[in-house]
């Protein structure tokens, strides 16, 4: 299939000119609830300093299904038992002596499968939210019934590598095997084949996106560059990025002294309010990243319960799985943001290998 070249397609020559004259796009759109919106500007192409161009849309379903104003994507990593037997980070901060299994630290990971997943699944059921769970192959092999239960409750199983270790350094055939192995584990336990991928610590290699496309994946999340999904051409076909989040990710405070429930709640609320306001004029997406062993603790779930209750007060929000978000932009390439970064070894960003 040929990639449609639309008004949203990157035009690098134009971007060079645009850069000099750039001012923060949509600055005048940021009034709460879209008040002060300039309707004229809705038809103007927006140009960004990195060279992206896109056309703002006015039609009902321009941004999201059903005319939703904002998409909110919740994810929950399933990693219990996928960590190395010794040396994984966690709340026990004193390093273990070399050559010993870290039994105490590993039990912190085990909490995710035993307590965290059931508690988070119940929370999401109570709010009618479906999420994406990125699963480590070794975690799934250790806890196949937990993986199966996540999918049975209506959530998406994405793949998160064979074990909780870097893959970007692997030669291409080994990396292909690394990814395919996690797919096989998930398929066997859940009966579903993942189409979305997340690397260990958000670090793809230069070949990763091409391998994912070859294996039938439609999207990855290892990109922190945008508050909306976007497309790029990989192996001659459109491939979706559904950007992840570090600042709204519970991993930022995995060592519990760094966690402040009130501050976390305020941050989530502010993020939502700002993106919701911008959502009047652009496709916007909010990403909440959870880990079963972190957000699955009782007090954390209480915070999330309060936040979800508040955010769900807005009716025009699409609480979506990441496969749905990826499919939406793949089905609407003419309205999607596109990037063409050139080869990853040159651009230094996730993309094609050459």
Residues that bind Zn ion (CB under 5 A): 77
CB of 43 to Zn ion, least distance (A): 41
The sign one gets for the Cα dihedral 188, 191, 197, 200 is negative
CB of 77 to Zn ion, least distance (A): 5
**Among all residues, whose Cβ is closest to Zn ion?**
77
CB of 278 to Zn ion, least distance (A): 28
- The residue among 189 and 336 lying less far from Zn ion, judged by its C-beta, is 189
Which of 307, 324, 327 is CA-nearest to residue 124? 307
- The residue among 77 and 207 lying less far from Zn ion, judged by its C-beta, is 77
- The residue among 56 and 212 lying less far from Zn ion, judged by its C-beta, is 212
CB of 215 to Zn ion, least distance (A): 19
- The residue among 217 and 272 lying less far from Zn ion, judged by its C-beta, is 217
CB of 60 to Zn ion, least distance (A): 37
- The residue among 139 and 148 lying less far from Zn ion, judged by its C-beta, is 139
- The residue among 62 and 84 lying less far from Zn ion, judged by its C-beta, is 84
Q: How far is CA 278 from the centre of its chain?
A: 19
Strand partners, 45: 55
Which of 136, 40, 143 is CA-nearest to residue 83? 136
CB of 160 to Zn ion, least distance (A): 6
Which of 295, 3, 2 is CA-nearest to residue 121? 295
Which spans in the chain are helix H?
12-20, 103-111, 117-127, 137-142, 144-152, 172-190, 208-214, 261-278, 292-295, 298-311, 322-331, 344-347
Provide the 10 A C-beta neighbour count for residue 60: 8
| Cα atoms in the Cβ-side hemisphere of radius 13 Å centred on 89 | 10
- The residue among 77 and 218 lying less far from Zn ion, judged by its C-beta, is 77
CB of 79 to Zn ion, least distance (A): 5
Assign residue 174 a region: left if phi > 0, alpha if psi is -120 to 50, beta otherwise? alpha
CB of 132 to Zn ion, least distance (A): 13
Residue indicated by tokens 């958000």: 202
Residue indicated by tokens 């039938």: 216
- The residue among 197 and 318 lying less far from Zn ion, judged by its C-beta, is 197
Packed helices 172-190 and 144-152: angle between N→C axes, nearest 10 degrees: 70
Structure letter (DSSP) for residue 100: S
Which of 237, 197, 195, 186 is CA-nearest to residue 221? 197
Rounded Cα distance, 33 and 12, in Å: 33
């Amino acid at each position: 299939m040929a990639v449609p070249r639309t008004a949203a397609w990157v035009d690098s020559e134009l971007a060079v000119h645009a850069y000099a004259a750039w001012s923060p796009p949509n600055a005048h759109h940021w009034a709460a609830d879209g008040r002060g919106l300039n309707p004229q500007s809705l038809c103007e192409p927006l140009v960004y300093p990195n060279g992206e161009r896109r056309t703002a849309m006015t039609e009902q379903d321009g941004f999201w299904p059903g005319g939703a104003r904002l998409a909110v994507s919740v994810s929950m990593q399933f990693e219990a038992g996928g960590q190395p037997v010794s040396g994984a980070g966690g709340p026990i901060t004193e390093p273990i002596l070399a050559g010993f299994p870290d039994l105490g630290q590993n039990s912190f990971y085990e909490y995710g499968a035993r307590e965290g997943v059931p508690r988070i699944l119940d929370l999401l059921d109570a709010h009618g939210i479906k999420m994406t769970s990125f699963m480590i192959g070794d975690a799934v092999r250790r806890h196949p019934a937990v993986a199966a239960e996540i999918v049975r409750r209506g959530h998406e199983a994405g793949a998160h590598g064979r074990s909780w270790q870097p893959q970007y350094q692997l030669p291409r055939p080994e990396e292909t095997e690394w990814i395919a192995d996690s797919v096989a584990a998930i398929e066997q336990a859940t009966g579903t084949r993942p189409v979305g991928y997340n690397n260990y610590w958000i670090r793809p290699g230069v070949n990763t996106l091409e391998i994912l496309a070859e294996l039938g994946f439609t999207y990855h999340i290892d990109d922190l560059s945008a508050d909306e999904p976007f497309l790029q051409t990989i192996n001659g076909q459109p491939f979706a990025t559904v950007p992840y989040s570090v600042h709204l990710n519970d991993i930022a405070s995995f060592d519990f002294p760094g966690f402040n429930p009130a501050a976390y709640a305020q941050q989530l609320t502010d993020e939502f309010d700002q993106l919701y306001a911008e959502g009047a004029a652009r496709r916007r997406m909010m990403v909440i990243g959870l880990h079963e062993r972190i957000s699955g603790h009782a007090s954390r779930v209480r915070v999330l319960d309060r936040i979800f209750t508040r955010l769900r007060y807005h009716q025009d929000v699409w609480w979506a799985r990441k496969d749905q978000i990826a499919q939406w932009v793949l089905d609407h390439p003419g309205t999607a943001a596109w990037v063409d970064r050139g080869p990853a070894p040159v651009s230094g960003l996730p993309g094609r290998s050459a």
